[in-house]
Amino acid sequence: MRHFNYFENGGPAPSSCIACGAVKELFEIGQLLSGGMAQICKKCVHELAEFNGYVPEAPLQEQIDLLKNDIEAHEIELARVPDKVEALINGIRSSVTDFIFAVSYGIDADKPAPIRNIESTDSGEHEASKAATGQRKAPVKSSSK
């Protein structure tokens, strides 16, 4: 990138913007054929840049700040996901345990032996009998792995 000399309070005389005549905040852009240096002021550089499609810094910074806030909000939301998943898993685990508990008590109360024999083909029978003996959490853990 080219380096441009910048004069905050005006350059070596004669010193003024070749576009608008301003005498402060000047960039030196090259040698004039008539002698002296061609200079253009900051305001005219900005106008030229905007005319060329460059976006002013302020709106860009505004958008950057908005995006940063958006990212922060998403990061906070993302950090909560494991807890939410854990709560869902616990809810499902508790529901399944309650269901197994209720089913096994219902089976034991009505007809213990015959129904167990009918259901012995699937794994539900094993868990139901364990839950009935008071090992409430053990069957659920084994079935979730």
Residues that bind Zn ion (CB under 5 A): 17, 19-20, 22, 41, 44
- Decide whether 42 or 126 has the Cβ nearer to Zn ion: 42
- Decide whether 20 or 66 has the Cβ nearer to Zn ion: 20
What is the biggest distance separating any 2 CA atoms in the chain, rounded to whole angstroms?
Answer: 114
Shortest approach of Zn ion to residue 35 CB, angstroms? 20
* CB environment 23-50: b (16+ within 10 A), e (fewer): bebbbbeeeeeeeebebbbeebbeeeee
Give the single-character DSSP code of 54.
P
- Decide whether 19 or 38 has the Cβ nearer to Zn ion: 19
Shortest approach of Zn ion to residue 25 CB, angstroms? 9
Shortest approach of Zn ion to residue 41 CB, angstroms? 3
Strands (E) in the chain, as ranges, are 6-7, 26-31, 37-41
